[in-house]
Structures are given as C-alpha cells and as structure tokens.
Amino acid sequence: MRFTDEKSRDRLKVGSILLVLTALLAMAVLHFDKVLGAINTLGNTLSPVVGGLVIAYILNVFVHFFEDIAFKPFESSKSKVWKKLRRPVSVTLAYLVVILLVVFIVCFIIPSLVDSMSVLTVTIQRNLPIYANQAMGWANDIAQRYDLTFIQEFLNEFNWSSLLNVLGDATKFTTEILSEVFNMTANVASGVFAMIMGFIFSVYMLSGKEKLIRGVKDSLRAFLPKRAATVVARVARLANRVFFSFIRGQLTECVILGVLCYIGMSLLQLDYALLISSVVALGALIPILGAYIGAGVGAFILLLVHPIDALIFVVFLVILQQVEGNLIYPRVVGSSIGLPPIWTIFAVTFWGGVMGIVGIWIGTPLTAVFYRLFREQVYARLPKRPQAEPGTERAEEVK
C-alpha cells in the first residue's frame, strides 16, 4: 500500500509508534521484575555514557567561553588552520581548567577546611560552658529584676550539664561526618574506570557535538511526523538554552560570591574565612534559598566563637549579596532562566525533597521550561485584544 498523501504517512507513523509503545508497556507490566532488573543492569552498563554526557554538558560552558568569548578576536581570521584548531584548543583548555581546579581543591582547599573544622570543634567545646553560664546569669538577673520567679525555678531545675553534653556530642558528630565523607571519597575512587570512560566519552561528545545534534535531528525527522519533529526540536532548543543559562549562572555566582566573601572576611579579620566562604559558595549553587543557608551556617559558626563577629558577618554578607546581585551578576551572567521567584522556591523545595541536590539542579531549569511552555499556551489561547485606532486613546484621556 502506497501513501502519497503526507498526512496519511504521518498518521501511519503515529499509529506505528503508538502500537509499539503499547506493546512495550504491556510487556513491561507483565514482566515488571525482569524489566526492573534489566533497567538496573542497563543503567550500570551505560553509566559511563550518561556520566560522559553530564560532564560534556557542564564543560560545554567552558568550551563556549573559549570559543565565543576568549577567541572572538580571531573569528575574522581566514586561516583554515585556526578554524580546524579552534574546537580542539577550546576543549583542551576547558579540561585543563577543570583539572587545575580539582587539583587546587584537593591539595589546598580540603586540607585547610579539615584544619579549620578541627580548630572550630575544639573552640566550640571550650566556649560552650562559658556561654551557657553567661546566658544563665543574664536570665537570673532578668528574673530577679522583674520578679519572674517561674524563670528562676526553670533555670534552677534545668539540667544544664545534659545540654552541654548534647552540644559536645554534636561537635563530635561533626568530626565523625568529616571522617565519613573521606571514607565515601575513598569508596568513590573504586569507580575510577567509569569516571575515566565518562571523560573519554565527554571528549568525543564535545569535539563532535554538531554531528551528534545533526544526527538527533535527522532521527526525529525520520521517525516522527513533520509537525511533531518540529515541536520536539523547538522544546529541545528551549530546554538547552534554559539549562545552559542555569548552569552558567549558578557556577559563575558560586565563584564570584565565594571569592568576594573570602576577600571581605580577610579584610575584616574574621575567623574561618576559607571555611565560611566555601560554605557560602556551595550554598550559592542552590537558587535563592542557598544564599540564606550559607549565611545562616556561617553566622552560626561565628556565633559559637565570637558573637560580635557573627553580627559583623551578617551585615557584611547582606551588603555583599546586594552588590553582587544588583551590579556584578547581571553584567557577568546576563538574563536568568526566566522563572519567577515564587516558582523557583517551589522548584527548589519540591525537587530538593524528591531528589536532593541533584533534583534541585535538574528540577529548577526543568520547571522553568514547563513554565515557559505553559505560558506560551496560555497567551496563545487568550483572545487577542483589538488594536485601538489612532487617536482613540488620546480621546479617552481627554474625556
């Protein structure tokens, strides 16, 4: 049977795809355990490919920087050699930057953080009894001055030693968490093969990303109706633009805020500048809420050491976030992902509860994509307002 009509061919494609999907779904339901085991096996087997795809997508931010920004003055060059070398040079520099960053973190940042945590633990254990006695003395003075006998009775009956023991155990628990983190790091080293293979896949993906994209487009046109292929391609372009802007924006904000926080704390001579700046930088990876989380953790650390320094730190960080958010970030990063703050908070809360940090990074831009598509449909379905004739608006104002 020959179908000369394009609509008939599209209907045949859609019907065939639905038939195959229905058959696959029925088989999956009937053999759910086997399908689940096969999915786990396939996921473990393809983990290097998936890891390579994730690495390539993140490193594409650096490749884009070198190709379109750093090497922009060389675009006018008509040299065929440069056109052939631009992509390999950009990919090599991107990997070199990441490798140097990892070496710097492992050799300098992590040892400094471990030392700071050790000193902080000792300082907290030493200062907690002093702060508890001071707080108890202030509460007794207030109770005596204003004749609040029930407060005095509560303070006298309260078991302060048990509270100090709990807080002391909490600080010990912090050190145990650090040791567990290093143990997890050692366990992660067992997956070196998968990581190396992921890097190899990412190199090939970055080097030939245009060919990969062209192959995906050809596959869409081959197996989907023309209209469906166009819609899928448009949604994919939107998702790529949103995810790219999100990753670039969060990484840039993380670096800028962490560096400025460290410089400012060093100038103000606040303790644990590297530790707290690292916490603030990591918090900046979480949209909107991350800045408050980093500020709260940093202020709590300083509060246990020097309460006045905690107040200074909060004031400094508020000023820093205003300067960074209103002056530096818009100039360096540019436009955001286009998601209103209320929906950003919803995405962070919902996806963070479902999938943790990974869910925040995937779910926030994914929510932005759904939001834009939904808004397009809303505006498309609303009746268009008739344009006013020239002079009508002015006449209404005069009335």
pLDDT at residue 3 tops 50? no
- Residue 395: per-residue pLDDT: 43
Percent of the chain whose predicted confidence (pLDDT) is above 90? 2
pLDDT at residue 391 tops 50? no
Q: 89-142, pLDDT tens digit by residue? A: 888 888 898 888 888 877 877 787 777 777 777 776 776 677 667 766 776 676
- Position of tokens 């202020």? 299
Band of pLDDT at residue 171, cut at 50, 70 and 90 = low
- Residue 249: per-residue pLDDT: 81
- Mean pLDDT, residues 247-271: 87
Ranking 41-45, 65-69, 199-203 by mean pLDDT, the lowest is 41-45
Helical pair 226-267 and 6-30, crossing angle rounded to 10 deg: 60
User: What CA–CA distance (Å, rounded) separates 220 from 340?
Assistant: 32
Sequence ranges of the domains in the chain: 49-207, 227-382
- Mean pLDDT, residues 152-180: 57
pTM of the complete model: 0.65
Q: 310-345, pLDDT tens digit by residue? A: 899 999 998 888 887 677 666 655 556 777 878 888
Q: Which residue has the higher pLDDT, 240 or 328?
A: 240
User: What CA–CA distance (Å, rounded) separates 148 from 67?
Assistant: 71
Task: Tell me the C-alpha to C-alpha distance, in Å, between residue 300 and each of 168, 254, 310, 314.
Answer: 15, 21, 7, 10
Q: Which amino acid appears at position 258 of this protein? A: G
- Residue 389: per-residue pLDDT: 47
